Amino acid sequence: MATEKIAGQEIAFDDEGYLEELSLWTPEVAEYLASREGIILTEAHWEILYLLRDFYSRYEHSPAMRPLVKAVKQTLGDDKGRSIYLMQLFPGSPAKVGARLAGLPKPDNCL
Amino acid sequence: MSTEGILVMTRSAPYGSSAARDALDVALTCSVFEQPVTLLFLDDGVFQLLKGQSPSVIGQKNLNAVQQSLPLYDIKRLCVSTSSLEQRGLRQDELILPVELVDDAALPALLAQHRHVLSI
Amino acid sequence: MVLHTLNQAPANAACMASALNTITSEDTLLLIEDGVYWTLPAFASQLANLTGRLVALEADLKARDLKADAVESVDDAGFVALCVSHDKVVSWF
């Protein structure tokens, strides 16, 4: 576990970089975590991050890749509801990286 | 008869044990591995589907929240035993999701349709 | 062909009732652990509707001093053979 001071607030992360206290998430935290991943957040990223946060508040868990793609498709349309699009935004594992930046727990059912 | 996929049979009421949550987690995980999943709610398992649950008062996560995400995992077939509902005085409109009612006489065929049956 | 295993004592009659609902004449019901108490003659009437084959696990019978002469019993190798000879196993607990 490590803590970082972000925008004047002490924030604790677990060994994999997920927030220990979900309620402490702010957009500044997302910016900080993105920079550590080498990602510069654009509008395209933010709409996915907010979609992830909405998914979590509604369904009380972080989505695996399959339901994430489906949720994006339903909300943002067929062009964005594809794994290749999400891979470009959040390289590696969009479900895991997205959840991390969105201040959510690591997805349970993720490969 | 062709057999495919996994039937997750859940017979426990929610919150008294982790069984209900485990059944859901198994179903979600099967979906992630692209295995067709059917959920069968039998006996006290039908209580899992009551739609007005507020388990935060006993410090537990609401199953209803995860249940509502099942369509996003392409888990569309939720079977409920008609007799289990009737024995408990429950009606279909008290359940959180649309379900397929299954009579006792149809249960053997439901088991036969699936390659594996997992009881939780 | 389904092998059903049941490990609940007769006090949990609902478990047996649900199992019986799904057991066909091609299936086998294997009683294990406390499920072997169902072999007592006192409960025979509740099993009258069972159409499939009834088997009890030998070690669980012996451990509990149950004779169950009227019921077929299998040892662990027999348990494995039943698992292999049926399409799938469904557990009732």
Q: Which domains does chain B have, with CATH numbers?
A: 6-119 (3.40.1260.10)
| Average model confidence (pLDDT) across chain A | 95
Q: Using 50 as the pLDDT threshold, list the residues of chain B that sit under it.
A: none
Tell me if B107 and C21 make a contact (CB, 8 A cut-off).
yes
User: Nearest CA of chain B to the CA of C23: how many Å?
Assistant: 7
The gap from C-alpha B72 to its chain's centroid, in whole angstroms, comes to 15
Residues in contact with B63: Cβ distance below 8 Å, sequence separation at least 6, in sequence order: B14, B20, B21, B24, B48, B53, B55
Q: How far apart are CA C28 and CA C10, in angstroms?
A: 18
Please give the average per-residue pLDDT across A90-101, as a whole number. Answer: 97
B: neighbours with 3+ CB pairs under 8 Å?
Answer: A, C
- pLDDT tens-digit series, residues B2-12: 688 999 999 99
Domains and CATH numbers, chain A: 2-101 (1.10.10.370)
The topology under which CATH files domain C2-92 is Hypothetical Protein Ychn; Chain: A, (3.40.1260)
According to DSSP, residue C68 is labeled -
What is the complex's ipTM, to 2 decimals? 0.90
User: Does A111 score more than 60 pLDDT?
Assistant: no
Q: How confident is the model at residue A110 (pLDDT cuts 50, 70, 90)?
A: low
Q: Using 50 as the pLDDT threshold, list the residues of chain C that sit under it.
A: none
pLDDT of residue A109: 73
Tell me if A71 and B72 make a contact (CB, 8 A cut-off).
yes
- pLDDT tens-digit series, residues A37-75: 999 999 999 999 999 999 999 999 999 999 999 999 999
User: Does A82 score more than 60 pLDDT?
Assistant: yes
State which amino acid sits at residue A36.
Answer: R
Q: How far apart are CA A88 and CA B13, in angstroms?
A: 43
pLDDT of residue B71: 95
- Please identify among residues 28-67 of chain A the ones whose CB lies closer than 8 Å to any CB of chain B: 55, 58-61, 63-67
Q: How far apart are CA B34 and CA B5, in angstroms?
A: 9
* CA B34 vs CA A2, A73, C39, C75: distances in Å: 36, 18, 42, 38
The domain locations on chain C are 2-92
pLDDT of residue C35: 98
pLDDT of residue B3: 81
